[in-house]
Amino acid sequence: MFESAELGHKIDKETYRKAVPELRAQLLEAQYELKENRKIPVIVLVSGQDGAGKGETINVLYEWMDPRFISTLAFSAPTDEEQQRPFMWRYWRALPPKGRVGIFAGSWYSSPIHDRIDGRMSNAAVEARITQINRFEQMLVNEGALILKFWFHLTKDGQKRRLKALEKDPRTAWRVTKWNWDRLKTYDKLQDVVGHVLRMTNTPWAPWIVVEGEDDRYRSLTTGKILLDAIKQRLAAAEKQVTPVAPPVQPNIDGRDILSELDLTHKIAKKAYEDQLAKWQGKLSELVRDPRFKERSVICVFECSDAAGKGGAVRRITAALDARDYQIVPIAAPTEEERDQPYMWRFWRHIPRIGRVTIFDRSWYGRVLVERVEGFCAEADWLRAYSEINDFEHELAEAGAVILKFWLQIGKDEQLRRFKERQKIEFKRFKITDEDWRNREKWDAYHHAICDMVERTSTGNAPTPFAARLSSSPSAAKCSKPTRHRP
């Protein structure tokens, strides 16, 4: 969930200066309409890593909006009175009335996250609390509330830089304590716990909005715009609340995404490629013969742009495996039998037993890629598919499967060169069809679909590495350095 929040988003001072006055005016107008309307409350949860700008953002919202109609609730360790009540009691009491904005600095998420990190809460207890929270938030939405959940994200190095900058400035040095530096040591564990909690609570009715927290202007402007758009859309909605089927796509205000930032210039010399390929095929062959592998299964998923080399990559993996121990499952349009079943049914039926490898040539991601772009399914279907895919992969991982997902990417010009090359070579002509040419016309639509797919389904249990491929020679095209995006 954190790929787009680790790209180094920034907004320059002049752009920020020009954007703020109009944004402030519109926020105030929306706030006053909310007050006069008095039909919905707005609940804003502000969470994130230490130093990611939680307090600064709350202060900015108070500056940009009318503070008379905003309340901020800060939660730390429960008091004796709160400990004598059910867990959610203190949050029930803090809910804002209709017509007002309630900002929660710390919320019903803080306790389970921190307790799990410190070992005071088991996985089972966290799962139970997540179920409770999801039901609570769904109830709030059904009662008419607008819930916005922000997670301000920093990389480990980014958090260190932020803490040092705050400590150096006399005006903010008081905010950094030994406790903050001690907490930095638990960064990796925090990421694991937070990633799981955010994924399980990233519901259609109350989605998480992950914002990069290192640049103050980017963070403030993004938060303000998201808040404004959400209030305006909710006020303009029909009287009857319509529950969405998936979290909405977040706005991209600086035009950067995981594909635009992917380096497509990686190359490797033919000799080095052959040596490395032999080395890693040998290691792979040893690993699948290790006695411990009999307690695991491996599921490989290959998706790519047309002509990006998926078939070649699959062949180089299977060359290291015993043919009796793997299966390649090519995925095309569903059969009549498959259309009579739930969408994920045809993939469940091919899941390998332990000690085996299954390679999916295309996969369940077709619903959020080709079916989405080509209109082969309703919008509600592909929006709902993101959570179905995450649940599916989570169940596989919980059962001990090793899930490897690869997206192979090439540039538009390189794709054109390969298409033309395929037309000239007799034994490759079958690889190029009229549909391939037609898909090129929808390059931008597929670009957005791919970014949404990775953003919503690259999880701790099943991250999505990228293999960037661009070459001018066949030998260099056979292998390239993968660029891994941290889940």
Per-residue pLDDT reduced to its tens digit, 308-330: 889 999 999 999 999 999 999 99
Q: Which pLDDT score, from 0 to 100, does residue 368 have?
A: 95
Among 228, 209, 243, 287, which residue's Cα sits nearest to residue 42? 228
Q: Which pLDDT score, from 0 to 100, does residue 48 have?
A: 92
Higher pLDDT: 275 or 156? It is 275
Q: With cut-offs at 50, 70 and 90, classify the pLDDT of residue 485.
A: very low
- Parent domain of 325: 270-483
For the chain, give the percent of residues with pLDDT over 90: 54
Q: Which pLDDT score, from 0 to 100, does residue 429 have?
A: 66
User: Has residue 484 got a pLDDT over 50?
Assistant: no
Among 293, 445, 453, which residue's Cα sits nearest to residue 373? 445
H/E element holding 360? strand 357-361
Residues 171, 287, single domain; the answer is no
| Residue 19 burial by Cβ neighbours in a 10 Å radius (0-12, 13-18, 19+) | middle
pLDDT average, residue stretch 263-272: 91
Of 212, 236, 260, the position where a domain reaches its end is: 236
Per-residue pLDDT reduced to its tens digit, 333-358: 999 889 888 899 999 989 998 999 99
Among 216, 189, 201, which residue's Cα sits nearest to residue 147? 201
Q: How many independent structural domains does the chain possess?
A: 2
Within a domain: 92: yes
Residues 276, 424, single domain; the answer is yes
Q: Which amino acid is at 292?
A: R
Integer Cα distance of 217 and 453 in angstroms: 27
H/E element holding 306? none
Residues 227, 349, single domain; the answer is no
pLDDT average, residue stretch 455-465: 80
Q: Which pLDDT score, from 0 to 100, does residue 431 have?
A: 66
Residues 50, 123, single domain; the answer is yes
- Other beta carbons within 10 Å of 408: 21
Residue 84, token pair as written in the block: 């004598």
Q: Which pLDDT score, from 0 to 100, does residue 482 have?
A: 36
Within a domain: 115: yes
Per the listing, tokens 């808040």 go with 227
Higher pLDDT: 300 or 204? It is 300
Residues 181, 276, single domain; the answer is no
Note if the pTM is more than 0.85.
no
Residues 112, 187, single domain; the answer is yes
Per-residue pLDDT reduced to its tens digit, 17-41: 999 999 999 999 999 999 998 888 9
**Coil, helix or strand at residue 330:** strand
Residues 189, 283, single domain; the answer is no
pLDDT average, residue stretch 452-468: 77
Integer Cα distance of 439 and 89 in angstroms: 54
Q: Which pLDDT score, from 0 to 100, does residue 5 have?
A: 86
Residues 339, 227, single domain; the answer is no
Residues 280, 212, single domain; the answer is no
Q: With cut-offs at 50, 70 and 90, classify the pLDDT of residue 376.
A: very high
Mean residue pLDDT of the chain comes to 87
Q: Is the CB of residue 111 less than 8 Å from the CB of residue 87?
A: yes
Within a domain: 283: yes
User: Has residue 430 got a pLDDT over 80?
Assistant: no
User: Has residue 469 got a pLDDT over 50?
Assistant: no
Q: Is the CB of residue 471 less than 8 Å from the CB of residue 267?
A: yes
pLDDT average, residue stretch 252-280: 90
Residues 36, 162, single domain; the answer is yes
Q: Is the CB of residue 308 less than 8 Å from the CB of residue 469?
A: yes
Within a domain: 159: yes
Of 236, 252, 282, the position where a domain reaches its end is: 236
Within a domain: 201: yes
Residues 362, 465, single domain; the answer is yes
- Which of 24-56 are b and which e, b meaning 16 or more Cβ less than 10 Å from the residue's Cβ? bebbeebbeebeeeeebbbbbbbbbbbbbbbeb
Within a domain: 424: yes
Residues 224, 286, single domain; the answer is no
Within a domain: 10: yes
Q: Which pLDDT score, from 0 to 100, does residue 312 have?
A: 92
Of 236, 251, 280, the position where a domain reaches its end is: 236
CATH of the domain at 172: 3.40.50.300
Within a domain: 183: yes
Give the DSSP per-residue string, 390-447: HHHHHHHHHTTEEEEEEEEE--HHHHHHHHHHHHHSGGGGGG--HHHHHHHTTHHHHH
